[in-house]
């Protein structure tokens, strides 16, 4: 007499139940870790950008990037002047060049591309809402990824979203 070795229906149901229980425990943890990774990346990007802004101001006698035109046709308080002054070489007047030479000895203050937001309504965007008010930024509208004030050097995430702890992202 030949016997067949196979799983019974009860054994299969038990295995499926165990896998379901493991999934209900593991999936939320993985999702939470992914969200926390975005928040961690946001904190690192903000620190990097804010440091670049401070280094630029230090090299340019207290003038923050974007406060002056970049000499490449982008006016003061324009997003492109701000980004170019952080990403390219510059002179004391804030004019930029892609090549380092004696006329453009300063910078660049950021390497590669301008960072994209990792969280919030404009995640994966690098757009910047330029301000010239000279006071703390408030009234986030989510129309751009970032907000920046050329008078104070303040740089924040432009989002009404909150962190997993319930804190507003602009408090970072």
**Could you report the per-residue pLDDT of 81-99, keeping only the tens digit for each?**
999 999 999 999 999 999 9
Cβ neighbour number for residue 79 with a 10 Å cutoff: 18
**Could you report the per-residue pLDDT of 141-165, keeping only the tens digit for each?**
778 999 999 999 999 999 888 877 8
What stretch of H or E contains 155?
A: strand 155-157
List b or e across 26-63, with b for residues whose CB sees 16 or more CB atoms inside 10 angstroms.
eeeeeeeeeeeebbeebeebbeebeebbebbbebbeeb
Short-list 95, 86, 107, CA closest to 150? 86
Q: How far apart are CA 46 and CA 53, in angstroms?
A: 10
Rounded to two decimals, the pTM is: 0.78
């Amino acid at each position: 007499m030949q016997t067949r070795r196979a799983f019974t229906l009860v054994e299969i149901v038990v295995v499926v139940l165990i896998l379901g229980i493991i999934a209900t425990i593991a999936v939320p943890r993985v999702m939470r870790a992914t969200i926390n990774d975005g928040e961690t990346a946001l904190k690192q990007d903000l620190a990097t950008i804010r440091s670049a802004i401070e280094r630029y101001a230090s090299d340019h006698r207290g003038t923050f990037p974007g406060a002056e035109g970049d000499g490449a046709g982008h006016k003061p308080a324009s997003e492109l002047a701000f980004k170019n002054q952080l990403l390219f070489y510059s002179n004391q007047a804030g004019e930029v060049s892609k090549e380092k030479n004696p006329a453009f000895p300063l910078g660049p203050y950021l390497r590669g591309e301008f960072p994209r937001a990792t969280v919030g309504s404009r995640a994966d965007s690098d757009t910047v809402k330029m301000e010239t008010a000279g006071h703390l930024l408030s009234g986030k509208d989510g129309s751009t990824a970032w907000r920046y004030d050329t008078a104070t050097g303040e740089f924040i995430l432009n989002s009404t979203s909150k962190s997993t702890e319930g804190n507003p992202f602009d408090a970072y």
